[in-house]
Amino acid sequence: MAKLVQCIPNFSEGRRVDVVRRIVDSIASEAEVKVVDYSMDVDHNRAVVTFVGPPQDVRRSIFAGTKAAVELIDLNKHKGGHPRVGSVDVIPIVPLQDISMAEAVALSREIGKDIADNLQLPVYFYEQSATMRHRTNLADVRKGGFEALRENGLIDGREPDLGPSKMHPTAGVTVVGARGPLIAFNVNLASNDMKAARAIAKKMRDIRDSGGGLQGVKAIAVYLKSRDIAQVSTNITLPHQASMYEVYSFVEREANAMGIEVLESELIGTIREESLLKAASEAMKLPNLTTKRVLDNWMR
């Protein structure tokens, strides 16, 4: 079987369609790479692109996409609801087929070196690629955001793993790393009550940290100005332990207790079939719902 990896770069642009389209076209320039999804959010002011391909093709594609983003996005002019440190904020690499995590880490290091050497962009490694324990968690690497790095400089433990010792004047820095599958899943409230959304997100984090459930779930509250609603934005980093249904149910239960309804939920990027089945199985109390019961899998 051919080696396949997934790359899910997050770009700090969610309002200019032409800019995102040019970045996506740059990524898609490699023949063996397939862009399977991309989405934009005006309130987060962020675009997420998902593409798959052989390791070295993905390496060339993400360099092309990063180069385009550095040329097109000035983070000094960027305002949005999502934390960020760079025009190309984060570049996750996920091993999909016939490739080990160690190989994915090696690929991430090659990608980081390409970016640092050729685009003069400071690079930090995170997750499985982290060179320091305190950089494993993306939130720790991104603490304070672009503005804090611009004001304080890349010093006192914030020195990059690769690249210049000063941040790029318009593109900031970028974070690269290999990791396992992750589900980006948001729950929108039928309310603009950010106090409630923050309380729900904090309770989720507290329960996770206490070991009482919601393992691997990261949660923040975001105000969606274009719709005047509050959002509980989550990353499910251990989808084999916590499901979308568990997250949705928790948010709904907590919101209802405050007299607030859930408006809808939202999936960003792609999801593995097993994660979708896990959520459906829990929602319908259907324990024997497995991939073998899905007819489409027998027709491929």
Q: Which residues are catalytic?
A: 82
**Does an H or E element contain 103, and which?**
helix 101-119
Residues 6+ apart with CB under 8 A from 32: 53, 54, 57
Q: Hey, which bits of the chain come out as E strands?
A: 4-7, 10-11, 34-41, 46-53, 88-97, 123-125, 174-178, 183-189, 217-224, 229-236, 262-268
Task: Count Cα neighbours of 71 within 13 Å in the Cβ-side half-sphere.
Answer: 12
* Under 8 Å between Cβ of 82 and 46: yes
Per DSSP, the three-state class of 265 is strand
CA-to-CA separations, 97 to 4, 5, 104, 127, in angstroms, rounded: 5, 7, 11, 19
CA-to-CA separations, 62 to 28, 75, 150, 201, 288, in angstroms, rounded: 9, 19, 25, 32, 40
Round to whole Å and give the CA distance between 204 and 284.
23
Round to whole Å and give the CA distance between 78 and 12.
7
Round to whole Å and give the CA distance between 155 and 126.
18
Cβ burial of 263 (10 Å; 0-12, 13-18, 19+) is: middle
